[in-house]
Amino acid sequence: MSLVIIDYGMGNIGSIANMLKHISVPYSIESTNSEAIYQADGIILPGVGNFAKAMYLLNETGISDIIKEAVLGRKIPILGICLGMHLMCDSSEEGNVKGLGLIKADVVKFKFDHPSVLKIPHMGWSKVKVHQEHDLVNSLDIDSRFYFVHSYFVKCKEASDVLLSAVHGSEFTASFLKDNLFGCQFHPEKSHKFGIQLFRNFAQWCA
Protein backbone atom coordinates (compact mmCIF):
# COMPACT_ATOMS: atom_id res chain seq x y z
CA MET A 1 0.00 0.00 0.00
CA SER A 2 1.07 3.60 -0.48
CA LEU A 3 -0.15 7.00 0.63
CA VAL A 4 0.05 10.31 -1.23
CA ILE A 5 0.77 13.60 0.53
CA ILE A 6 -0.71 16.51 -1.44
CA ASP A 7 1.77 19.36 -1.86
CA TYR A 8 0.17 22.69 -2.80
CA GLY A 9 2.70 24.86 -0.98
CA MET A 10 0.99 25.23 2.42
CA GLY A 11 1.66 22.16 4.54
CA ASN A 12 4.00 20.43 6.98
CA ILE A 13 5.15 18.04 4.27
CA GLY A 14 8.49 17.21 5.90
CA SER A 15 7.02 16.46 9.32
CA ILE A 16 4.34 14.19 7.89
CA ALA A 17 6.84 12.41 5.65
CA ASN A 18 9.13 11.80 8.63
CA MET A 19 6.24 10.34 10.61
CA LEU A 20 5.34 7.94 7.77
CA LYS A 21 8.99 6.92 7.45
CA HIS A 22 9.06 6.23 11.20
CA ILE A 23 6.18 3.76 10.92
CA SER A 24 7.45 2.30 7.62
CA VAL A 25 4.49 3.40 5.51
CA PRO A 26 5.34 3.96 1.81
CA TYR A 27 4.35 7.36 0.47
CA SER A 28 4.90 9.86 -2.32
CA ILE A 29 4.52 13.62 -2.46
CA GLU A 30 2.37 14.80 -5.36
CA SER A 31 0.81 18.00 -6.59
CA THR A 32 -0.85 17.79 -10.01
CA ASN A 33 0.03 14.19 -10.90
CA SER A 34 -3.55 12.99 -11.09
CA GLU A 35 -2.74 9.37 -12.00
CA ALA A 36 -0.45 8.95 -9.00
CA ILE A 37 -3.14 10.41 -6.75
CA TYR A 38 -5.87 8.23 -8.27
CA GLN A 39 -3.76 5.10 -7.69
CA ALA A 40 -3.05 5.90 -4.04
CA ASP A 41 -4.51 3.81 -1.25
CA GLY A 42 -4.98 6.96 0.83
CA ILE A 43 -4.49 10.71 0.58
CA ILE A 44 -3.16 13.16 3.16
CA LEU A 45 -4.13 16.82 2.71
CA PRO A 46 -2.00 18.95 5.07
CA GLY A 47 -2.27 22.67 5.62
CA VAL A 48 -0.90 25.60 7.59
CA GLY A 49 -1.97 29.17 6.95
CA ASN A 50 -4.86 31.06 5.38
CA PHE A 51 -7.97 29.28 4.08
CA ALA A 52 -8.66 31.69 1.20
CA LYS A 53 -5.08 31.53 -0.06
CA ALA A 54 -5.07 27.74 0.16
CA MET A 55 -8.30 27.44 -1.83
CA TYR A 56 -6.91 29.84 -4.44
CA LEU A 57 -3.85 27.61 -4.88
CA LEU A 58 -5.94 24.42 -5.05
CA ASN A 59 -8.30 25.91 -7.63
CA GLU A 60 -5.63 27.67 -9.69
CA THR A 61 -3.56 24.50 -10.11
CA GLY A 62 -6.51 22.18 -10.69
CA ILE A 63 -5.75 20.16 -7.55
CA SER A 64 -9.30 20.79 -6.30
CA ASP A 65 -10.82 18.79 -9.14
CA ILE A 66 -8.26 16.01 -8.75
CA ILE A 67 -9.04 15.69 -5.04
CA LYS A 68 -12.80 15.67 -5.65
CA GLU A 69 -12.50 12.94 -8.29
CA ALA A 70 -10.20 10.87 -6.08
CA VAL A 71 -12.27 11.21 -2.93
CA LEU A 72 -15.86 11.52 -4.14
CA GLY A 73 -15.56 9.66 -7.44
CA ARG A 74 -13.07 6.92 -6.59
CA LYS A 75 -13.78 6.81 -2.84
CA ILE A 76 -10.10 6.95 -1.84
CA PRO A 77 -9.72 7.60 1.92
CA ILE A 78 -8.45 11.08 2.78
CA LEU A 79 -6.98 12.59 5.94
CA GLY A 80 -7.17 16.38 6.18
CA ILE A 81 -4.89 17.90 8.82
CA CYS A 82 -5.63 21.30 10.43
CA LEU A 83 -6.13 23.69 7.48
CA GLY A 84 -6.44 20.59 5.30
CA MET A 85 -9.45 19.57 7.40
CA HIS A 86 -10.93 23.05 6.93
CA LEU A 87 -10.49 22.86 3.16
CA MET A 88 -12.65 19.73 3.07
CA CYS A 89 -15.63 21.75 4.39
CA ASP A 90 -18.25 23.84 2.59
CA SER A 91 -16.98 27.27 3.62
CA SER A 92 -14.87 29.27 6.06
CA GLU A 93 -15.15 32.61 7.81
CA GLU A 94 -11.45 33.03 7.03
CA GLY A 95 -11.83 34.85 3.73
CA ASN A 96 -15.50 33.97 3.23
CA VAL A 97 -14.75 31.62 0.34
CA LYS A 98 -16.08 28.20 -0.59
CA GLY A 99 -14.16 25.08 0.35
CA LEU A 100 -13.95 21.73 -1.42
CA GLY A 101 -17.40 20.78 -0.16
CA LEU A 102 -16.49 17.18 0.63
CA ILE A 103 -18.38 17.16 3.93
CA LYS A 104 -21.32 19.13 5.30
CA ALA A 105 -19.48 21.48 7.64
CA ASP A 106 -18.39 25.09 7.95
CA VAL A 107 -15.34 26.70 9.53
CA VAL A 108 -15.83 29.48 12.10
CA LYS A 109 -13.55 31.55 14.31
CA PHE A 110 -13.28 31.21 18.07
CA LYS A 111 -15.10 34.09 19.75
CA PHE A 112 -14.92 34.64 23.50
CA ASP A 113 -16.46 37.25 25.80
CA HIS A 114 -13.29 37.24 27.90
CA PRO A 115 -10.38 36.79 25.45
CA SER A 116 -7.81 37.56 28.16
CA VAL A 117 -8.76 34.27 29.83
CA LEU A 118 -9.10 32.12 26.71
CA LYS A 119 -6.40 32.81 24.17
CA ILE A 120 -6.76 32.80 20.41
CA PRO A 121 -5.21 30.89 18.79
CA HIS A 122 -5.88 27.78 20.82
CA MET A 123 -2.35 26.43 21.15
CA GLY A 124 -0.95 23.43 23.00
CA TRP A 125 -1.93 19.94 24.10
CA SER A 126 -5.55 18.97 24.67
CA LYS A 127 -7.26 15.72 25.56
CA VAL A 128 -9.88 14.41 23.16
CA LYS A 129 -13.23 12.69 23.67
CA VAL A 130 -14.30 9.85 21.39
CA HIS A 131 -17.78 10.10 19.82
CA GLN A 132 -17.71 7.16 17.40
CA GLU A 133 -16.41 3.62 17.56
CA HIS A 134 -14.04 3.16 14.64
CA ASP A 135 -10.76 1.46 13.79
CA LEU A 136 -9.18 4.91 13.42
CA VAL A 137 -9.53 5.60 17.15
CA ASN A 138 -10.35 2.31 18.88
CA SER A 139 -6.70 1.62 19.69
CA LEU A 140 -5.96 5.10 21.05
CA ASP A 141 -4.92 5.43 24.69
CA ILE A 142 -7.76 6.60 26.93
CA ASP A 143 -5.63 9.61 27.91
CA SER A 144 -4.67 10.51 24.33
CA ARG A 145 -3.64 14.14 23.88
CA PHE A 146 -2.93 15.96 20.66
CA TYR A 147 -1.19 19.19 19.73
CA PHE A 148 -3.40 22.04 18.48
CA VAL A 149 -2.60 25.40 16.88
CA HIS A 150 -5.70 27.10 15.43
CA SER A 151 -7.93 30.17 15.56
CA TYR A 152 -10.77 28.58 13.55
CA PHE A 153 -12.64 25.33 14.07
CA VAL A 154 -15.08 23.10 12.19
CA LYS A 155 -18.82 23.03 12.88
CA CYS A 156 -20.30 19.84 11.45
CA LYS A 157 -23.86 20.17 10.18
CA GLU A 158 -24.49 16.55 11.14
CA ALA A 159 -23.56 15.64 14.72
CA SER A 160 -23.01 12.02 13.69
CA ASP A 161 -19.93 13.12 11.69
CA VAL A 162 -18.01 14.17 14.83
CA LEU A 163 -15.36 11.57 15.65
CA LEU A 164 -13.38 13.37 18.37
CA SER A 165 -13.98 16.55 20.33
CA ALA A 166 -11.84 18.76 22.55
CA VAL A 167 -12.53 21.79 24.73
CA HIS A 168 -11.35 25.36 24.41
CA GLY A 169 -13.95 27.49 26.15
CA SER A 170 -16.57 25.07 24.89
CA GLU A 171 -16.53 21.73 23.13
CA PHE A 172 -15.48 21.78 19.47
CA THR A 173 -14.85 19.22 16.74
CA ALA A 174 -11.31 17.89 16.99
CA SER A 175 -11.86 15.29 14.28
CA PHE A 176 -14.64 14.31 11.89
CA LEU A 177 -15.32 11.07 10.04
CA LYS A 178 -17.84 10.34 7.32
CA ASP A 179 -17.42 7.40 4.96
CA ASN A 180 -13.91 7.83 3.49
CA LEU A 181 -13.51 11.39 4.81
CA PHE A 182 -11.30 11.85 7.89
CA GLY A 183 -10.26 15.25 9.23
CA CYS A 184 -8.17 16.26 12.26
CA GLN A 185 -8.00 19.77 13.71
CA PHE A 186 -4.85 18.88 15.64
CA HIS A 187 -1.44 18.06 14.21
CA PRO A 188 -0.80 14.30 14.56
CA GLU A 189 2.67 14.81 13.06
CA LYS A 190 3.51 16.92 16.15
CA SER A 191 1.69 14.73 18.67
CA HIS A 192 4.41 12.18 19.45
CA LYS A 193 3.20 8.67 20.37
CA PHE A 194 -0.47 9.61 20.05
CA GLY A 195 0.07 10.93 16.53
CA ILE A 196 2.14 7.89 15.60
CA GLN A 197 -0.74 5.63 16.59
CA LEU A 198 -3.21 7.70 14.60
CA PHE A 199 -1.06 7.53 11.46
CA ARG A 200 -0.74 3.77 11.93
CA ASN A 201 -4.52 3.50 12.23
CA PHE A 202 -5.01 5.59 9.09
CA ALA A 203 -2.56 3.50 7.08
CA GLN A 204 -4.25 0.27 8.20
CA TRP A 205 -7.66 1.74 7.33
CA CYS A 206 -6.42 2.55 3.82
CA ALA A 207 -4.77 -0.82 3.22
| Residues involved in catalysis | 82, 187, 189
Ramachandran angles phi, psi of 103, nearest 5°: -140, 150
Single-letter amino acid, residue 87? L
Which residues does 190 contact at the CB level (< 8 Å), separation at least 6?
12, 15, 147
SS3 content of the chain, % helix, strand, coil (to 5): 30, 30, 40
Residue 28, beta-bridge partner list: 4
Of 105, 90, 80, 100, the C-alpha closest to 181 is 80
Ramachandran angles phi, psi of 10, nearest 5°: -140, 55
3-state secondary structure of 41: coil
